[in-house]
């Protein structure tokens, strides 16, 4: 890396690609305590050339080195109380959640515990719980939460990150005194299916579920308070109310958990994945009928919906592979949903219109069509260096979003950036996840290699000039591909926060049990054999010409502990001491399970330039 002559230029460029206004949290309130409506509407017309309102809280001042960031944000319904969570070193698991009622201005010692995961059965303390208070969902990562106005309080939790099967309970606040002995009803008492809240209309609970629906659907449960009773342990509540379809499952599209949001009192915004791309639809809760598709011409990655269920206005926070921030406004007029653009943020010295995107499918050996997107600067000549990102796990879709180092590669190197959709992800629905998880996990790695071969056949790239990168489960995939890909096909592998020893993950970490369904249960004979056949650490190939490999674990990462990266790089160096390209590791200090930082991204580019002799574009 000392030989890289473009160090300063690379860092400056990455800083520029990271410099944009990112609107992560938007709260609409009735009181005129911030930007006025007139000021807000005027700013929309100028793409926020002048920001409305005034500076309220400066995130950069939360720590001396700028490493701290704002996590959760909550604003009271009347707009008078603002609370926020500060994250330092990334986000890690927080166990034993409770729900406590706090009266503003009183001592915490007077708080009343409404729910304690210790009383939620065998898996209670190992669950990730969240709460819903008739109007909005709040993640439970603090000891107490300020209640929002609402009649119903829902509790739901899951302990298996692969299936996300949940338990769920509800209590009606109206007519009850707040105490640790309130009445509750069960909505889903047995981890039988997954349910993530969409919202409540009167006494009907709407939610996303995979019950008898691999691709997800919207269903409802009628909240029957006549079944309510006081219990010492929530497992005593065993009523299973009927789950009624509202928006039935589509076989050609996927709804991910949490991608259903209530708006305008009784309308449902549903975020679909159609052939690897986002599509937002509006439905009526009364009959489940489709009203319209929203933003049909946008290619984007949705960060979230912001707005109260009883408001006619909803804010959509989004981004795309060449645009870091897009904010849209949806307004229900009483008969139609109107859409408008609030602001679109660009990177200085870059024009999104200078770039293009294509969609392709690569045919695997078993005939499966594996989707991928190719993005590039218009006018680039084939072949060129190819930077391939993929994830392929948990049924998630991870493509077409903005990340500074990805976009910086596009704009500063004459190359192609590719978003892969291997099996294990959610690009083609629930079956796509099943086909690349558990005992089928090997399909994920074979699909990535299939994409590389297809790109070579289509003359996008040549062997040895492929950079492959993935984070977390995507990092596992890239480490496995480095082992399995034909010699000299890949030039550089970048496993970010990667578990390179799946046995260690499952047997010696806090998240191990929850990940067994995703990667294969090593405590069973068939699971052990399946994982042993591909786990990166156990499958380093002697005397093979490996690509350059650069591992970047986080020192504070409790989700993927750094030790497996230490072992993997040591095994590579020991088994192949004369490899032409280097095996390197950089431990990102004071960081947890977070995306690549600027410093490690700059190291990635240094290694790419020096090891693969890839040069930057001339300005």
CATH (domain of 358):
3.40.50.1820
Residues 107 and 226 in one domain: yes
Length of the chain: 619
Task: For residues 212 and 247, give the distance between their C-alpha atoms in angstroms, rounded to a whole number.
Answer: 13
Single residue among 233, 249, 265 that ends a domain in this structure:
249
Domain for residue 329, yes or no? no
88 pLDDT exceeds 60? Answer: yes
Domain for residue 299, yes or no? no
> Residue 157's domain spans which residues?
97-249
Single residue among 220, 249, 278 that ends a domain in this structure:
249
Q: Omega before 95 cis (within 30°)?
A: no
Residues 373 and 494 in one domain: yes
pLDDT, tens digit, 9 for 90 and up, residues 326-379:
999 999 999 999 999 999 999 999 999 999 999 999 999 999 999 999 999 999
Domain for residue 447, yes or no? yes
Domain for residue 225, yes or no? yes
Task: For residues 499 and 483, give the distance between their C-alpha atoms in angstroms, rounded to a whole number.
Answer: 14
Residues 602 and 453 in one domain: yes
Q: How many domains does the chain have?
A: 2
What average pLDDT score do residues 503-532 get? 94
146 pLDDT exceeds 70? Answer: no
pLDDT, tens digit, 9 for 90 and up, residues 264-273:
999 999 999 9
Q: In the prediction, which pLDDT does 75 show?
A: 75
The CATH number linked to 136 is 2.130.10.120
Task: For residues 295 and 612, give the distance between their C-alpha atoms in angstroms, rounded to a whole number.
Answer: 41
Domain for residue 548, yes or no? yes
pLDDT, tens digit, 9 for 90 and up, residues 178-212:
898 999 999 999 888 888 888 888 899 999 999 99
Domain for residue 66, yes or no? no
Residues 486 and 606 in one domain: yes
Q: In the prediction, which pLDDT does 91 show?
A: 46
Domain for residue 157, yes or no? yes
Give CA separation, 375 vs 212, 371, 402, 501, in Å: 37, 14, 12, 32
Domain for residue 598, yes or no? yes
What average pLDDT score do residues 399-413 get? 96
Single residue among 227, 249, 271 that ends a domain in this structure:
249
Q: In the prediction, which pLDDT does 153 show?
A: 87
**C-beta of residue 289 within 8 angstroms of C-beta of residue 270:** no
Q: In the prediction, which pLDDT does 476 show?
A: 97
Residues 213 and 358 in one domain: no
**Residue bearing the bigger pLDDT, 56 or 489:** 489
**C-beta of residue 212 within 8 angstroms of C-beta of residue 158:** no
492 pLDDT exceeds 70? Answer: yes
DSSP codes, 165-192: -EEEEEEE-TTS--SSS--BEEEEEEEE
Q: Put residue 288 in one of left, alpha, beta given phi > 0 → left and psi -120 to 50 → alpha.
A: left
Closest CA to 216 of 262, 252, 162: 252
173 pLDDT exceeds 90? Answer: no
Most confident of 28-42, 43-57, 127-141, 551-565: 551-565
Closest CA to 461 of 614, 617, 616: 614
List the Cα angle 143/99/218 in 5-degree steps. Answer: 125
What average pLDDT score do residues 304-315 get? 87
Task: For residues 221 and 207, give the distance between their C-alpha atoms in angstroms, rounded to a whole number.
Answer: 8
For the chain, give the percent of residues with pLDDT over 70.
Answer: 91
Residues 367 and 244 in one domain: no
Least confident piece of the model among 35-49, 233-247, 434-448: 35-49
Looking at residue 526, what DSSP letter applies?
A: H
């Amino acid at each position: 890396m000392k030989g890289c002559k473009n160090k300063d230029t690379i860092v400056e460029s990455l800083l520029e690609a990271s410099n944009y206004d990112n609107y992560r949290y938007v709260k609409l309130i009735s009181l005129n305590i911030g930007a006025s409506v007139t000021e807000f509407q005027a700013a929309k017309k100028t793409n926020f050339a002048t920001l409305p309102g005034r500076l309220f809280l400066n995130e950069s001042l939360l720590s001396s080195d700028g490493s701290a960031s704002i996590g959760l944000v909550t604003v009271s319904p009347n707009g008078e109380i603002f609370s926020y969570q500060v994250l330092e070193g990334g986000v890690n698991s927080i166990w034993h959640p409770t729900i406590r009622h706090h009266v503003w201005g009183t001592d915490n010692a007077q708080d009343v515990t409404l729910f304690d995961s210790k009383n939620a059965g065998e898996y209670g303390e190992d669950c990730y719980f969240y709460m819903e208070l008739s109007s909005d969902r709040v993640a439970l990562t603090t000891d107490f939460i300020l209640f929002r106005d609402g009649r119903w309080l829902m509790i739901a939790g899951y302990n298996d990150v692969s299936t996300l099967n949940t338990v769920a309970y509800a209590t009606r606040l109206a007519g009850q005194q707040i105490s640790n002995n309130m009445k509750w009803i069960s909505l889903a008492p047995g981890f039988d299916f997954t349910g993530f809240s969409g919202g409540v209309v009167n006494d009907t609970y709407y939610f996303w579920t995979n019950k008898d629906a691999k691709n997800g659907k919207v269903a409802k449960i009628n909240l029957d308070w006549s079944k309510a009773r006081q219990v010492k342990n929530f497992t005593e509540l065993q009523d299973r109310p009927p789950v009624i379809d509202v928006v039935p499952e589509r076989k050609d599209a996927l709804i991910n958990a949490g991608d259903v949001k209530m708006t305008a009192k009784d309308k449902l915004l549903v975020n679909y994945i159609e052939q690897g791309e986002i599509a937002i639809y509006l439905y009526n809760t009364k009959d489940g009928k489709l009203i319209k598709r929203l933003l049909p011409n946008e290619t984007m990655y949705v960060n979230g919906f912001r707005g109260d269920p009883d408001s006619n206005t909803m804010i959509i926070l989004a981004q795309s592979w060449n645009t870091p921030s897009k904010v849209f406004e949806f307004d229900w007029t009483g008969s139609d949903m109107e859409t408008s653009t609030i602001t679109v943020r660009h990177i200085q010295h870059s024009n999104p219109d200078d770039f293009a995107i294509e969609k392709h499918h690569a045919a695997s050996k078993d005939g499966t069509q594996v989707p991928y997107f190719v993005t590039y600067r218009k006018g680039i000549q084939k072949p060129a260096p190819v930077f391939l990102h993929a994830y392929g796990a948990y049924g998630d879709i991870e493509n077409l979003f903005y990340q500074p180092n990805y976009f910086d590669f596009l704009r500063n190197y004459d190359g192609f950036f590719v978003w892969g959709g291997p099996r294990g992800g959610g690009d083609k629905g629930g079956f796509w996840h099943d086909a690349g998880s558990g005992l089928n996990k090997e399909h994920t790695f074979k699909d990535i290699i299939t994409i590389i071969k297809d790109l070579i056949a289509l003359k996008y790239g040549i062997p040895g000039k492929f950079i492959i990168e993935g984070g977390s489960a995507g990092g596992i995939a890239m480490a496995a591909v480095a082992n399995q890909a034909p010699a000299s096909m890949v030039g550089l592998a970048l496993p970010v926060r990667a578990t390179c020893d799946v046995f260690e993950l499952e047997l010696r970490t806090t998240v191990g049990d929850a990940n067994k369904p995703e990667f294969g249960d090593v405590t069973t004979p068939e699971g052990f054999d399946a994982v042993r056949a591909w786990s990166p650490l156990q499958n380093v190939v002697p005397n093979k010409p490996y690509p350059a490999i650069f591992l970047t674990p986080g020192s504070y990462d409790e989700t993927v502990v750094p030790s497996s990266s230490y072992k993997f790089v040591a095994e590579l160096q020991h088994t192949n001491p004369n490899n032409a390209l280097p095996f390197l590791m950089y431990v990102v200090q004071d960081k947890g399970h977070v995306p690549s930082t600027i410093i490690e991204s700059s190291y990635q580019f240094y290694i790419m330039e020096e090891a693969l002799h890839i040069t930057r574009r001339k300005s």
